[in-house]
Structure 1
């Protein structure tokens, strides 16, 4: 009877009152849960001696592993079953940068190191013809001092192809024969000690002046530095692997007419040269080789006449023989 009276109580029938009662009940339950959590005792973790030992061993192993990785990276990677690769050390010589600490350190690569002035009319040659003459002479220098056929095979065909027909006939025997002092006058001959992969460097300039009637003389004043390969026991300094070639050379351009067609074009005029920091035994046969190739003639200090002027194309050629 009382249960029915509760079900029909006016407050229970009021929707607003029922919402407030449910909200208050949920709030009370949350507060009660928080009180129980605060009363629950906290467990504290205490590290035993065993835990300390294990943690120390783990940290030590991690440090050792990291050290091994660093050491391997410093020594270079290695394949299974092979020792680690170590970078070669060459007693002050860096084969990747062979011209460092030499007169050619700031020279440019190849014929880019030769200054070519803008063409101007000279004698009976127009500015355009002088420009063309500069280009022809630059190609002749490259064929003689940088060309792979000349350097590696002692083959003068690249230079011969640039010459006037009669000049080609005159020099063909000299430029196609074996190494000789006469052949060395026209282009560089490299011996068994091969060049490195680093291209030769050059410095110098071209100038033009009138010759006889129908002639233009282009004077080339330049120096070339060559880098040779070497083993660690062969090279003590850059001086041992970088020989130099100085040249003062006239090139003659002739026009037809007044010259015959067979004489028109490029001819090689008067010239003189100077070599330094090379192997003396080899250069006597017309071959350019690095200084270390002279096993029985070690060079101590700076070669005779080896100063800044010796490598400066704006200065006169040295008169002293570096081989004595």
Structure 2
């Protein structure tokens, strides 16, 4: 065999070896990015210490205490406008655990289900405005339970969600609950702040006696790091993107067991999560993994903007 044609060596062509090599390369990339982030953080921290020390020395030489200067400086009113939120998660930034969504795309999102924008009820097809309003309330409640209900998040009990659907729809949901029904990873808890959300609901007619309600939204959660060192919000703030079509069926053209709420189709996408937890359909923070990079390896505006198409590749190598 030509020693210069090493890429065609039989050992290198073995599929098991290739999968192993790909996994090792992926893990190495995550380690390298984490180390690079730590070096940047240490460099910035050292620079801040030097600047503060130099300022203190200057004030001491001048014989003026810092508080004397502060006392002669007129107070500046606090800003009344909200700063624009970033469009991606920073690699490294200070994290205030009382305001864990600062410096993230969720910085200015509303708390909980208030972030889902719902149009005013109006007649759609054969559905009256009141029927449309009732259907919107059903879907809103289903989303709220799937994303925020404590019994679902911590207890991993989907019954409260599944019970909202038509009798004939429940068995399939029990066997295959949608991925965006959130179960928190065991051993990890959220900080005492509400998750934040942004998204919209739209309504359109379907076949006779059907009303389609499409929801597209993103939810940000904030995990308590405890004594763990975190380098930025990406380490503890996972984001869940969901797109789903709900269907409300009513009228005599449908069997009694078919009348009510159905889930037509759904897509989910996860950013800055524990890859180990996702293997078991659980949601955990990135810091739960031994090797993690925080933000997604494939930045995409659809991660944080429900108005954009749902991305297809997350920050976990499947």
Does the pair score TM above 0.5?
Answer: yes
Partner residue, 1:318? 311
The answer to whether residue 194 in structure 2 is matched with residue 223 in structure 1 is no
Unaligned runs of 5+ in 2: 1-92
> How far does the alpha carbon of each residue in 1:139-180 deviate from its partner, in whole angstroms, 9 at most, with x for none?
0001111111110001011112211111123323x3xxxxxx
Q: How does 1:263-278 map to 2 (within 5 A)?
A: 263-278=258-273
**In 1, Cα distance between the equivalents of 2:246 and 2:130?**
17
Q: How does 1:127-138 map to 2 (within 5 A)?
A: 127-138=129-140
Partner residue, 2:10? none
Misfit runs of 4+, over 4 Å: none
- Number of aligned residue pairs: 225
**In 2, Cα distance between the equivalents of 1:128 and 1:226?**
34
Partner residue, 1:112? 114
Q: How does 1:20-169 map to 2 (within 5 A)?
A: 92-169=94-171
Judge conservation of contact 2:180–2:268 (CA < 8 Å) in 1: no
Unaligned runs of 5+ in 1: 1-90, 175-181
**SS where residue 145 of structure 2 aligns?**
helix
**In 1, Cα distance between the equivalents of 2:171 and 2:277?**
29
**In 1, Cα distance between the equivalents of 2:180 and 2:258?**
19
Which structure ranks higher in relative contact order (CA pairs < 8 Å, sequence separation ≥ 6)?
A: 2
Partner residue, 1:13? none
Judge conservation of contact 1:281–1:294 (CA < 8 Å) in 2: yes
1:263 is displaced (CA, Å) by 0.9
1:237 is displaced (CA, Å) by 0.9
* CA spacing shift, 1:160–1:303, aligned 2, 3 Å: closer
Larger Rg: 1
Judge conservation of contact 1:276–1:306 (CA < 8 Å) in 2: no
Partner residue, 1:293? 288
Task: Specify which of 197, 203, 212 is matched with residue 208 of structure 1.
Answer: 203
Judge conservation of contact 1:103–1:308 (CA < 8 Å) in 2: no
Judge conservation of contact 1:305–1:318 (CA < 8 Å) in 2: no
Partner residue, 2:46? none
Backbone CA RMSD of aligned residues: 1.7
1:307 is displaced (CA, Å) by 4.3
**SS where residue 154 of structure 2 aligns?**
helix
* CA spacing shift, 1:186–1:165, aligned 2, 3 Å: farther
1:273 is displaced (CA, Å) by 1.1
Partner residue, 2:242? 247
* CA spacing shift, 1:133–1:199, aligned 2, 3 Å: same
Partner residue, 1:256? 251
